[in-house]
Amino acid sequence: MNVFLTLAFLFFIGSIGGWVLELFYRRIISNGKWINPGFLVGPYLPLYGFRVMHILFIISNKY
């Protein structure tokens, strides 16, 4: 259960962090317009959440 909660937390943090970064990146590129990069309801981008979990899994297996 502890591993599941850790992975869920990493997914949540990665999804929201990626959404925030992409939101500001799109604001800079689009000359001041706010463009929501998400396709879900709320500030989530699952692509970034899965990537954070994947990178940390690879790092944990190497060491």
State the SS3 of the chain: CHHHHHHHHHHHHHHHHHHHHHHHHHHHHCCCCCCCCCCCCCCCCHHHHHHHHHHHHHHHHHC
Confidence (pTM): 0.80
Question: Among all chains, which residue has been given the structure tokens 């317009």?
Answer: 33
Q: What is the pLDDT of residue 63?
A: 65
Question: Among all chains, which residue has been given the structure tokens 């591993």?
Answer: 3
Question: For the segment 5-63, what is each residue's pLDDT rounded down to a tens digit?
Answer: 888 999 999 999 999 999 999 899 888 888 888 888 888 899 999 999 889 888 887 76
Ranges of each domain in the chain: 2-34+43-62
Q: What is the pLDDT of residue 21?
A: 92
Q: What is the pLDDT of residue 2?
A: 83
